[in-house]
Structure 1
Amino acid sequence: MASAQLYLDTRRAKVDGTFPVKIRIGYGRQAKLFNTIISLSKTDFERVVIGKGKLSDHLKAVKPKLDTLIKKANVVIEGLTPFNIETFTTRFFQRGNRLDLLFLLKEKADKLWELEKIGNSNLYKQAWTLLVEYHKHTSDSQELLIHTVNVKWLQNFETWVGRQTRVDKKGIILPKYSTTTLGMYLIRVRAIFNDTISDQLIPNNLYPFHTPQNNKGYKILKGGGNKRALQKNEMQRIFDYIPKTVNESFAKDIFMFSYLACGMNCIDIFRLKWSDIDGNKFTFIRKKTEGKLGGQNKITILLNKELSEIIERHGSHKLRSDLIFNVIPDDVNEVEALKAVRSSISTINQTLKKIAKALDITTEISTYFARHSFSTNQMNNETPLAFISKQLGHTSLKTTENYLSDFSNDKAEIYLSSLLENTN
């Protein structure tokens, strides 16, 4: 069993005659010394550590600092089974309380930001913000210790979130957070639990979420089936629409590009390069799954006549930029690139609503409708689920199944009519 104790390194005195105080970690027959910023004389060290003699004001200030270091070292040691000196070193010098859920969420957000995983970083930051707000209502402590977050805590948090409201432009009171949004935040909380258990900071039995082995655990709610798919005839009407402005032309074409390119997300469309095109096809990796384990699947899209014409109308000059669409400026960092993409998507969505209104199609339309419309219309065409899943860039068929809208009424009628041979 490893142990931690204060150690006065008397091998070399400082100019003032004091010696460095270090943390000695003993494990097996080995030991390692860790520096502190504190130096003491031999006499003062005995007073602080052994309690021999009266403490001066200076030593009264020093003692709590050393006590905190020893306490932190012991906490790290207790969380390491078996003990590993490299892991101890990493954890001992990490800032913050490794058992504070709020700290861990914020730390994860910051790390993802540094890795330019901006979207996921923002979700961790938003989850942190919401948990901080809730924690202020339930505790005076600045920390939310991870072992206090159990099934009951999560249920109470869910109830509190459900009571939060907002007022829209028409003065109508609406829920502030959707079930989907809450689910996305709690998925990040669950990921923190997975990390802390993997790092042996907490035991498995403190895991509060539902698993096949723990059917009493908390189940993260899923969205209530807000499917955003347009029928084929509605997509055809948008395709046939004659734009009246440059904005309408770009919005319509990017929307149709997404639909015809197997539900390709706008962020991936705007990152497409001329070098991605190879003859009559192009290949890309989804930005959303880039860098994920098992998420590096390349998606190949056949470059049909309609897609080629859209590129011809809106593509940038090959010699000026490698990017096909002139949305992301050259030589910008990931944050600025994401801002440019979001700004363009916002303008496209506003323009799509005007087009949809003119065509008497739902004005709730957005660029994301193209992705859902592709998958659902492919399903109604009886396209194999495996193909739809592959083209969407999903890593599991279950994800695709959750993604699809219901079958159209016409398809449902055809399928049900085959229950008996002579059904009319």
Structure 2
Amino acid sequence: MSTTVNAICYKAKVLKNNEHPLMIRITKDRKRKYLSLGISINPKHWDFEKNQPKRNCPNREQIIQIISERTKEYQEQILEFKATKKEFTATTLLAKVNNPVKVKTVKELFDSYITRLKDANRLRYAQMYESTLTSLLAYNGHLDILFSDIDVAWLKKYEAWQHKQSFALNTIGTRFRHLRVVYNLAIEENIVKPDYYPFKKFKVSKLNEQTAKRSITKEEIISILNYQGKSYYECFAIDVFTFAYLTAGINFADIARLTTDHITGDRLVYKRKKTKKLIKIPLQQRAIDLIAKYKQDDSPYLFPILSSFHKTEQQKVNRVHKVYGHVSKHLKAIGEELKLPIKLTTYVSRHSFATNLKRSGVSTSIISECLGHSSEKVTQIYLDSFENSQIDEAMKNLL
């Protein structure tokens, strides 16, 4: 059905000066949309049959020029829609002409977002997005493309390419989530219209592989805590693991940044670097002893990971990453020596803290608060399934 674009004197509305507003009227599929031209006219100066100002109308030439220019914009957009065989309505035509998108490529917005993360000192996240950007560039060759070019077919090809490279499913899922975040940002900044959003049909959730449980039993935890290290680094790795377990599974990056200012009475009070949520945890005696063991008078930090030498955020991130590598290496070896069922990492302390509390009857809501999670749904990921013996006992209550 044809689309018509006319300028009309909108008689249904009378302004304070007793004039009527001039409107652009778009008619398509028997539906009409109106948009004010920002000018008004006395009805005696308007030819309602020809939809144009009469010869005696003041400023007639200027009004005709405005009408002509605005009408031309709509006619050109209609031609573009038809040339690209894109369906449109009167509403989308109005939006396209009056809210034109900003021209910014996928590469430009990725770079901009990574810069924002770095400016906010979220350097690890910035590195993750840089990794995704590198992957996208390796796949497509360049990203000097518009977001509207990324459709479901493009996403499926990118997914297939990653599978062919033998990337883990969770890695693929993470990259698609990063791309989705930047695409949503493009919509928010009016770089691409929501109509083009491909993630309504392409479901990223299918790329989530259930993460193997990282918790161990209380008995296995005790065997780690009682392990006698054979070197300074082994002892340090055990002490870091012990402190994390006794302080609600505090993240290694947060341990590294703890200072005397985070000790309030007999409590550890700090903000999680990842979520910025305030955590308040009572300090167990063994945790207090570990603080006393490693605290140095010439350093504000509780543990010898960072020092006054590390001033910039990048220096701190690099140092934490390096020490974490050493700690992880020694924990892995200790776990193998103790014949633990899973690879021993600092994350095991966090998951085990949550699971062992749950098995002791502590509610998920309290555990969630201790972990600093945004919701109990997140906490549930940490909670290990109960042993078969517990399930067997529970099933006996059915009859």
Task: Answer whether contact 2:299 2:307 (CA < 8 A) is retained.
Answer: no
Structure 1 residue 102 corresponds to structure 2 residue 102:
no
Distance in 2, Cα, partners of 1:226 & 1:79: 48
Give identity over the alignment, percent.
Answer: 28
What's the offset of the Cα at 1:162?
Answer: 1.4
Paired residue for 1:321, among 268, 277, 299?
Answer: 299
Paired residue for 2:390, among 393, 411, 417?
Answer: 411
Distance in 2, Cα, partners of 1:81 & 1:370: 55
How big is each residue's C-alpha offset from its partner over 1:291-314, in whole Å with a ceiling of 9 and x where there is no partner?
xxxxxx311111011111111222
Distance in 2, Cα, partners of 1:239 & 1:410: 26
How big is each residue's C-alpha offset from its partner over 1:303-335, in whole Å with a ceiling of 9 and x where there is no partner?
011111111222222xx2222112112151011
One-letter code aligned to 2:258: L
User: Which residue is 2:253 aligned to?
Assistant: 267
One-letter code aligned to 1:186: F
What's the offset of the Cα at 1:362?
Answer: 4.2
Q: 1:248 to 1:142 in 2, by over 3 A?
A: closer
TM-score, normalized by length of structure 1?
A: 0.67
One-letter code aligned to 1:326: P
What's the offset of the Cα at 1:130?
Answer: 0.3
Structure 1 residue 379 corresponds to structure 2 residue 364:
no
Structure 1 residue 233 corresponds to structure 2 residue 219:
yes
TM-score, normalized by length of structure 2?
A: 0.71
How big is each residue's C-alpha offset from its partner over 1:170-209, in whole Å with a ceiling of 9 and x where there is no partner?
xxxxxxx322222222221111121111122222221122
Task: Answer whether contact 1:394 1:400 (CA < 8 A) is retained.
Answer: yes
User: Which residue is 2:138 aligned to?
Assistant: 133
RMSD between aligned residues = 2.4
Q: Secondary structure at the match of 1:209?
A: helix
Structure 1 residue 218 corresponds to structure 2 residue 203:
yes
Structure 1 residue 280 corresponds to structure 2 residue 266:
yes
Distance in 2, Cα, partners of 1:265 & 1:333: 20
How big is each residue's C-alpha offset from its partner over 1:224-273, in whole Å with a ceiling of 9 and x where there is no partner?
23221112111111011122211111100101111111111010111111
Distance in 1, Cα, partners of 2:333 & 2:143: 48
Task: Answer whether contact 1:270 1:328 (CA < 8 A) is retained.
Answer: yes
User: Which residue is 2:188 aligned to?
Assistant: 198
Task: Answer whether contact 1:105 1:127 (CA < 8 A) is retained.
Answer: no
Q: Which has the higher helix share?
A: 2
Task: Answer whether contact 1:379 1:407 (CA < 8 A) is retained.
Answer: no
User: Which residue is 1:310 aligned to?
Assistant: 290
Q: 1:118 to 1:390 in 2, by over 3 A?
A: same
User: Which residue is 1:254 aligned to?
Assistant: 240
Distance in 1, Cα, partners of 2:114 & 2:220: 40
Distance in 2, Cα, partners of 1:366 & 1:79: 53
Distance in 1, Cα, partners of 2:256 & 2:266: 19
Task: Answer whether contact 1:274 1:324 (CA < 8 A) is retained.
Answer: yes
For structure 1, the 5+ residue unaligned runs are 1-26, 30-76, 92-96, 166-176, 211-215, 291-296
Structure 1 residue 116 corresponds to structure 2 residue 148:
no
User: Which residue is 1:17 aligned to?
Assistant: none
1:82-101 pair list within 5 angstroms? 98=104, 100-101=105-106
What's the offset of the Cα at 1:108?
Answer: 1.2
Paired residue for 1:388, among 348, 367, 370?
Answer: 367
Distance in 2, Cα, partners of 1:259 & 1:383: 16
For structure 2, the 5+ residue unaligned runs are 1-36, 40-93
Q: Secondary structure at the match of 1:418?
A: helix
